[in-house]
A and B are shown apart, each in its own frame.
Chain A
Amino acid sequence: MLNVKINGKEVQVAPGSTILDAAKEAGVSIPVLCHDSRLNPFGACRVCLVEQVGMPKLMAACTTPVTDKMEIITESEKLARVRKTAIELLLINHPLDCPVCYKGGECGLQDLTYEVGVTKVRFDASPNDTPVDHTNPFIERDIDRCVLCGRCVRICDEVVNIQAISFLNRGTDTMIGTSFEQPWNCEYCGQCISVCPVGSLNNRVYLFKNRPWNLESEKTICGLCSCGCTVSIDYECNEVFRMNEMPEEGVNHGYMCAKGRFGFDFMNSVKRETEAQITVGGEAKKATVAEAVEYAAEKLKGLKAEEVAVVVSPRITNEEAFLASKLAETIGTKNVFSTETDEIMPEGAYSEVEASDALAVLNINVTESNPILGLAVRVAAREENANCFVFYPSETALKRVATELITGNPDELAVKMEKFCAAMGGADNDFSAMAKTMLEAEKPVVVFDPYNKADAYIAQEIKKACDKVILVPAKSKNNSVGIVDMGFGKNNPADFAKGVEGGTIKAVLCFGENILVRSGWSKLEGALAKLDLLMVTDPFMSDTAKAANVYVPVATFAEKSGSFTNLEGRVQEVSKAVDKGVSADADVIAALGKALGAELPTDVYAVRKLIEKEVKLYSGIQWDGGKVAYPSVFKTEMEKASATAKGSGKFYLYPASLRLHSGSYTRWSPDLAKVYGTPKLELNDADANEMESAEGDTVKIKGDGFAGEFVVEINKQITKGCVSLPEDFASTADIFSLGRYLKAEISK
């Protein structure tokens, strides 16, 4: 440890610490502008200059490492003068349009100017007047406000590993921009917005909608995927204005993705329903929630217990899912379903992924499907000594950091993965070197898609061959894990389809699930129509809600409290931020329970007491971040599943990760829908040329048992001879219900 004095206060810090670190230790604050503790030291702005006793030269606190016995002064007349000048220089070209600036009120430059006390700029001010760039659909770029701190460029490089923007030119012409000033395309994760200290990079979804001082904030967990990001919901009068990062907080370290940052707007959608509805003989009538519940309860009373099924969505909270299981108990039915199963449960934590020295990413486009897990993979893969092997039919965004990308059409890829798996078990083949790296690593990690049986089998075999491998099954929805813990993973989702189709299930109570857009269930439309009762809760009039005879509009995750369990198996608390005047699922379930003669609590804490008592894995769980300890990842021995593509045709078709969307929810977000509204067929450029079709053309796809028409998106990264479509759209769910890998013909 090194002994350092900051303004006379003695502190001890580890070698390698900077003066800024030491000052923090001493409780002394030094103004900074270009510094971000998550990024490598940069030292561009000179705002953090400090003095060392006995040294004439000032130094940047954020980049200078401390030495033993160093004595630092952070406040002096000289420093005040120098800081003031540094700010004045920044203000020369700055537009100072604070009254209409996006960042007004929460701007690093405004705050510094105030702190340092600059009231007048001694230099001739000459603000530029460059047109604002709107080529990025989510990010407005006003380069005149840029202070060239480089935080955006650095976070896009060091954290996101996309390098979608760069410093251009030099000297006084330096600016932030893209190659040949082409339109700004990227992952749209918005990390760059979150670090920009000024109003240079602005969130277009929030822009000009409100001012920060009007907003109240509620810390909660994003409900749009299984990553479990800690976010802040910023609202005024029950209107959500933004879902914002909480810098450095949460398992996501304050990072987010496009869905969370730009896709929250569905909460405010005018298309949300406010009234319940009962449909009799094809005629829909508005009703109160109480009437709807009563109607459903009456119907249920006329049915046998085993004729009733309860379906929950992986979106609802643990507490709600638990109540739903109590409701099933009250009814006396064992027919509890969800799209999830308990066959595969979490193991690894993000911290373990980040610290891994050898990773295999098996057939999942993880930066799209689970963005924060994707960032964790990137953290590890970027390390000099780490290896990252990525198996996927096409190239993915991990290309920048991967040691090796293993691509090929689905059949080829399946063979390669099997070989890799065999090599892990000792076989000698072309994957032996890769397997050796994994086997010899200290902390090997395998990320896989738990919904793909063939891959899950391979993951299990790898685990058998090498017990130290930490598995990370990338579950998909915000509470995919939790609803299983609450009892909704025991049954096979296929049995639900069978029951409904075969007529053994006559009533379905569906909490939040949009059955008709799920692979495997999407063809149930006709069968659902024949049910005696289909009760659906959903914030929106979803496809399934339309088919229901009882519909109740319910709250989104911003409007209720409870908890979600993320893909690590970590339980995290969700807090209510706004009220949209609709019930939460918990209220509906409790009301229905009551009508059937059971007293179910709705108070979150009361429900948690019950969960702790009845759900073994949750006894003594910490609700604000505790990790559930699953006895094992796999419930049983996985069966080897065939991954061979079905049918015939020239092209392979496989499901792509959802582009910018999260199930069917975010399609109600106008800004996401603008960029990605309808499913697109991704096609390699060479194939497109051969077919003489261009981006935006409509093509026909036809295979055994399916046909459709889709708009083409040309993607050079797609392997030649392959095409992909996103899942979870009504039109594509039907197709993928037939199988994960299909052969197809494509024509103009």
Chain B
Amino acid sequence: MAENEVVETEEIEEIPDIEANFDPTACDEICEQYKDWKGATIPVLQKTQDAYGYLFPALVERIAENMNMSPHTIYGVITFYAQFYTKPRGKYIIRVCRGTACHVQGSGRISEIVGEEFQIKDGETCKDLLFTLEEVSCIGACGLAPVIMINNKTYGNLKPEDARKIFKDYATNLPEA
């Protein structure tokens, strides 16, 4: 397969379907469960994020209304914690370790390869919503440096071209996430 066939980069600037055809049922159910809890904001946000993938404006409005809170307060919480996302995320989250050991072992090059393959930078998601790149600090496997994780799988001792192969493999075979 030719390299540039791997990722189809149609220009989709339009609103992702989950936002355009927002169905609040799941959100309402989650909020209902936590209705009488104090300090329920974080679990509610976690669950709704799990259900919808990310936290978009209409969803946040809905949560705010359900929880009788201000959407601004909720957005404040969302932007405070790294675990919450306000943009769509890829099916596969590629975490490239940029800790010292991995850096020394050339993890910077691996990030570049992700960019070459999928046209994304740190924190970005490619347009077909398959891959998200996140540069992270030491993930505690320095012995295996340079290390990356794709979702829950860890890959260590990576040579740049091995990494490229793994990425291509994901893009072609689309394993269950």
| B174 adjacent to chain A (CB < 8 Å) | no
Report A-chain residues with C-beta under 8 Å of the C-beta of B76.
166-168
Q: Which residues of chain B are within 8 angstroms of A166 by Cβ–Cβ distance?
A: 70, 72-73, 75-76
Q: Which of B57, B68, B70 contacts A180 (CB 8 A)?
A: B57
Smallest Cβ-Cβ distance to B80: which chain A residue: A170
A400: CB under 8 A from chain B? yes
Residues in A with CB closer than 8 Å to B80 are 167-170
Beyond A166-B73, A179-B72, 10 extra complex contacts between A and B, CB < 8 Å: A163-B73, A164-B72, A166-B70, A166-B76, A167-B76, A168-B80, A179-B74, A180-B75, A400-B68, A400-B70
Question: Would you give the 0/1 interface string for B69-90, flagging 1 where the beta carbon is closer than 8 Å to chain A?
Answer: 1111111100110000010000
Output the nearest chain B residue to A166 by Cβ-Cβ distance: B76
**Would you list which residues of chain B between 38 and 65 have a CB under 8 Å from chain A?**
57, 60-61, 64
- Count of residues in B whose CB is under 8 Å from the partner chain: 16
Residues on the B chain within 8 Å of A169, using CB: 79-80
User: Which residues in A have their C-beta under 8 angstroms from that of B68?
Assistant: 399-400
| A165→B68 CA distance, assembly (Å) | 16
| Listed residue (A166, A170, A399, A400) with the most chain B CB atoms within 10 angstroms of its CB | A166
With A and B bound together, what is the CA distance between A178 and B74 in angstroms? 10
CA distance A168 to B74 in the complex (A): 10
A179 touches B69 (CB 8 A): no
**B79 engages A165 (CB within 8 Å):** no
Task: List the A side residues contacting B73 at CB < 8 Å.
Answer: 157, 163, 166
- Nearest 5 CB-CB pairs, A to B? A163-B70, A166-B76, A179-B75, A179-B71, A166-B72
In the bound assembly, the distance between CA atoms of A177 and B79 in angstroms comes to 11
Whole-angstrom distance between the Cβ of B70 and the nearest chain A Cβ: 3
- Which residues of chain A come closer than 8 Å to B72, judged between CB atoms? 163-166, 177-179
**Once the chains are docked, how many angstroms separate the CA of A400 from the CA of B72?**
13
Task: Give A170 to B71 CA distance when docked, in angstroms.
Answer: 18
A399: B residues at CB distance < 8 A: 68
Residues from chain A with a CB closer than 8 A to the CB of B75 are 166, 168, 178-180
Interface residues of A in 153-181 (CB under 8 A from B): 157, 162-170, 177-180
Given A179-B57, A180-B57, A180-B86, A168–B79 Cβ distance below 8 Å? yes
Query: What's the minimum C-beta distance from A175 to chain B, rounded to whole angstroms?
Result: 10
- Number of interface residues, chain A, beta carbon within 8 A: 17
Report B-chain residues with C-beta under 8 Å of the C-beta of A167. Answer: 76, 80
Nearest CB of chain B from residue A625's CB, rounded to whole Å: 35
Tell me whether B69 and A163 are in contact (CB under 8 A).
yes
Say whether A162 contacts B70, CB under 8 Å.
yes
Looking at the assembled complex, report how far the CB atom of A720 sits from the nearest CB atom of chain B, in whole angstroms: 15
Chain B residue nearest in CB terms to A171: B80
Q: Which of B57, B75, B76 has the most CB of A within 10 A?
A: B76
For B74, what are the chain A residues with a Cβ–Cβ distance below 8 Å?
179
Q: How far is the CA of A399 from the CA of B64 in the complex (A)?
A: 12
Residues in B neighbouring A182, C-beta threshold 8 A: 57
Question: Which residue of B has the minimal Cβ distance to A157?
Answer: B73
CA distance A165 to B86 in the complex (A): 18
Q: In the complex, which of the residues B60, B70, B79 contacts A164, with contact meaning CB atoms closer than 8 Å?
A: B70
Residues of A contacting B79 in the complex (Cβ-Cβ under 8 angstroms):
168-170
Task: Return the chain B residue nearest A174 by Cβ.
Answer: B80
Can you spell out 29 A-B residue pairs with CB atoms less than 8 angstroms apart?
A163-B69, A163-B70, A163-B72, A163-B73, A164-B70, A164-B72, A166-B72, A167-B76, A167-B80, A169-B79, A169-B80, A170-B80, A177-B72, A178-B72, A178-B75, A179-B57, A179-B60, A179-B70, A179-B71, A179-B72, A179-B75, A180-B57, A180-B60, A180-B75, A180-B86, A182-B57, A399-B68, A400-B68, A400-B70
Nearest-CB residue, chain A, relative to B69: A163
B22 to chain A, nearest CB (A): 15
* Most chain B Cβ neighbours within 10 Å, of A164, A177, A179: A179
Residues of the B chain whose Cβ atoms lie less than 8 Å from the Cβ of A178: 72, 75
Query: Please, how many angstroms separate the alpha-carbon atoms of A163 and B41 in the complex?
Result: 15
CB A91 to nearest CB in B, in angstroms, measures: 25
Which residues of B have CB within 8 Å of A177?
72
Complexed CA–CA distance, A63 and B73 (Å)? 23
How distant is B72 from chain A, measured CB to nearest CB, in Å?
A: 4
Say how far B28's CB is from chain A's closest CB, in angstroms.
16
Inter-chain contacts of A165 with B (CB < 8 A): 72
Q: Which residues of A contact B60 (CB under 8 A)?
A: 179-180
Name the residue of chain B whose CB is nearest to the CB of A180: B57
**How far is A162 from B64 in the complex, measured between Cα atoms in Å?**
12
A603 to B61, CA, bound (A): 58
Q: What residue of chain A has the Cβ atom nearest to residue B76's Cβ?
A: A166
* Complex interface: chain B residues within 8 A of A157 (CB): 73
Chain A contacts for B64, CB-based, 8 A: 179
- Which residue of the partner chain B has the closest CB to A167? B76
Chain A residue nearest to B71 (CB atoms) is A179
CA distance in complex: A56, B76 (Å): 35
1/0 per residue, CB under 8 A from B, across A325-359: the answer is: 00000000000000000000000000000000000
For B68, B72, B79, which residue has the most chain A Cβ atoms within 10 angstroms? B72
Report the Cα distance A182→B75, complex, angstroms: 11
Distance between Cα atoms of A110 and B36 in the complex (Å)? 46
A residues 684-717 near B (Cβ < 8 Å) are none
Nearest A residue to B60, CB-CB: A179
| Bound complex: CA A179 to CA B76 (Å) | 7
Instruction: State how many angstroms separate the Cβ of B135 from the closest Cβ of chain A.
Output: 16
The answer for the CA separation of A260 and B80 in the assembled complex, in Å, is: 36
Q: How far is the CA of A87 from the CA of B122 in the complex (A)?
A: 35
CB distance from B104 to the nearest CB of A (A): 26
Closest to A162 in B: B70
Distance of A288 Cα from B102 Cα, bound (Å): 90
- Across the interface, which residues of B come within 8 angstroms of A170, CB to CB? 79-80
Type the 1/0 row for A385-417, where 1 means its CB is closer than 8 Å to any CB of B: 000000000000001100000000000000000
Chain B residues near A164 (CB, 8 Å)?
70, 72
A182 nearest CB across to chain B (Å) = 8
CA A400 to CA B67, docked complex, whole Å: 10
Q: What's the nearest-Cβ distance from chain B to residue A555, in Å?
A: 42
CA distance A399 to B73 in the complex (A): 15
User: Which chain A residues border B86 with CB–CB below 8 Å?
Assistant: 180
In the assembled complex, the Cα of A76 lies from the Cα of B79 at a distance in Å of 40
Chain A residues whose C-beta falls within 8 Å of the C-beta of B71 in the assembled complex: 179
| CB of A547 to closest CB in B, whole Å | 47
Q: How far is the CA of A399 from the CA of B86 in the complex (A)?
A: 27
Say how far A536's CB is from chain B's closest CB, in angstroms. Answer: 46
CB distance from A403 to the nearest CB of B (A): 11
Q: Which residues of B contact A163 (CB under 8 A)?
A: 69-70, 72-73
B82: nearest residue on chain A (CB-CB)? A170
Contact residues in B for A162 (Cβ distance below 8 Å): 70
Contact mask A119-158 → B, CB, 8 Å, 1/0? Answer: 0000000000000000000000000000000000000010
B123 → A minimal CB distance (Å):
13
Give Cα A162 to B73, complex, Å: 10
A170 and B79 alpha carbons, distance in the complex (Å): 7
Could you tell me the distance between the alpha carbons of A552 and B63 in the complex, rounded to whole angstroms?
56
**Complex: how many Å from CA A552 to CA B72?**
50
| Complex CA–CA separation, A162 to B60 (angstroms) | 16
Q: How far is the CA of A263 from the CA of B61 in the complex (A)?
A: 31
* Nearest residue, chain B, Cβ from A165: B72
